[in-house]
Amino acid sequence: MDKIIIKTPEQIEGIRKSSKLAGQTLEYIADFVKEGVSTEYLDQKIEAFIRENGAIPATLGYGGYPKSSCISLNEVVCHGIPSDNTILKNGDILNIDVTTILNGYYGDTSKMFTIGEVSTVALDLIAATKHSLNLGIQQVRPGNQFGNIGFAISKFIKMKGYSVVYEFCGHGVGVEFHEEPQIDHTSRRNTGPIMKPGMTFTIEPMINQGRPGTIVDKHDKWTARTVDKKLSAQFEHTILVTETGYEVLTDVTGEY
Ligand code: MF3
Ligand code: CO
Ligand code: CO
């Protein structure tokens, strides 16, 4: 049984608009990402921007998650909870992940930001992570199998000497936050369901400098950190399978 939703043209238009707003939210927040500001402040700006644009932040209250974005610094792999106590400092790298609900449709995207002078090691990790997402996106076309996305990502990342997080995945998205299928970023060549026009999903590789394993914070039950406390980076886009290939719905920079 195929549970992967093929979206109607009307749903695709709704997902396209929501995804565009999610992408614009990351552009908007860039000016505020500076040394000395708290991640709580950034979260408040993000929430206000999303609401001013007629949407709601999907993470707020999702499974009990308390904030409008996830902001994951340095060794935090994902689901970092914005806080007054987390102040950005010189040399930090961070991922900001936003998901919008606009007229009932979801768009999900994240990218990396850097504060001041960042180590070459961190910059290399960020560049490799971004490139791995591009390689994954390049696998999107009707008739290809989902497993080839993770295969392309992990082949490149292994060659770079980094590791791919296997405990968190991409996912179908659009009419719900997390739909079928799961997009595993370590999958094997020619495995998994077949991509069809009208499918919408995220690709969101989390790449670790050291070991791939993660540990979820015992106290807040969300923050996932690398087991070895080395750095982690992530980029995420929401993608549509078109008749001929893909459309990167959350890209607002004209990169794709
Ligand atoms: N936006 C994240 C994703 O890419 C999900 C965050 S769920 C939350 O799938 F509850 F932690 F916010
Ligand atoms: Co996602
Ligand atoms: Co996300």
pLDDT tens column, 122-150: 999 999 999 999 999 999 999 999 999 99
Burial (Cβ within 10 Å: 0-12, 13-18, ≥19) of residue 96: buried
**Predicted pLDDT at 2:** 61
Q: Nearest C-alpha to atom 11 of ligand 1 is from which residue?
A: 79
Do 165 and 206 touch, CB atoms closer than 8 A?
Answer: yes
Amino acid letter at 85? N
Confidence of residue 176 (pLDDT cuts 50, 70, 90): very high
Q: Which atom of ligand 1 is found nearest the CA of 65?
A: 10
Q: Count the helices and strands in the chain (H runs, E runs).
A: 4, 15
Q: Nearest C-alpha to atom 8 of ligand 1 is from which residue?
A: 59
The model's pLDDT over 79-118, given as tens digits with 9 standing for 90+, comes to 999 999 999 999 999 999 999 999 999 999 999 999 999 9
Could you tell which of 50, 69, 78 is best to mutate to test the pocket of ligand 1, judged by most ligand atoms within 8 Å of the CB? Answer: 78
pTM of the full predicted structure? 0.98
Which residues have C-beta within 8 Å of that of residue 48, sequence separation ≥ 6? none
1 pLDDT more than 70:
no
Average pLDDT over residues 180-197: 98
The alpha carbon of 102 and the centre of ligand 1 are apart by a number of angstroms equal to: 16
β-strand pairing of 232-234 with 93-102: unpaired
Runs of H (alpha helix) within the chain = 9-29, 39-52, 120-137, 147-160
The alpha carbon of 72 and the centre of ligand 2 are apart by a number of angstroms equal to: 14
Question: Where are the domains positioned within the chain?
Answer: 9-248
pLDDT averaged over every residue in the chain = 98
CB atoms within 10 A of CB 176: 14
What is 9-248's CATH topology? Creatine Amidinohydrolase (3.90.230)
The model's pLDDT over 15-43, given as tens digits with 9 standing for 90+, comes to 999 999 999 999 999 999 999 999 999 99
Average pLDDT over residues 50-72: 98
Confidence of residue 244 (pLDDT cuts 50, 70, 90): very high
Tokens at 54, concatenated: 């007629």
Confidence of residue 213 (pLDDT cuts 50, 70, 90): very high
Q: List, chain by chain if needed, residues with CB within 6 Å of any ligand 1 atom.
A: 59, 62-63, 65, 70, 79, 97, 99, 108, 202, 204, 222, 236
Average pLDDT over residues 201-220: 98
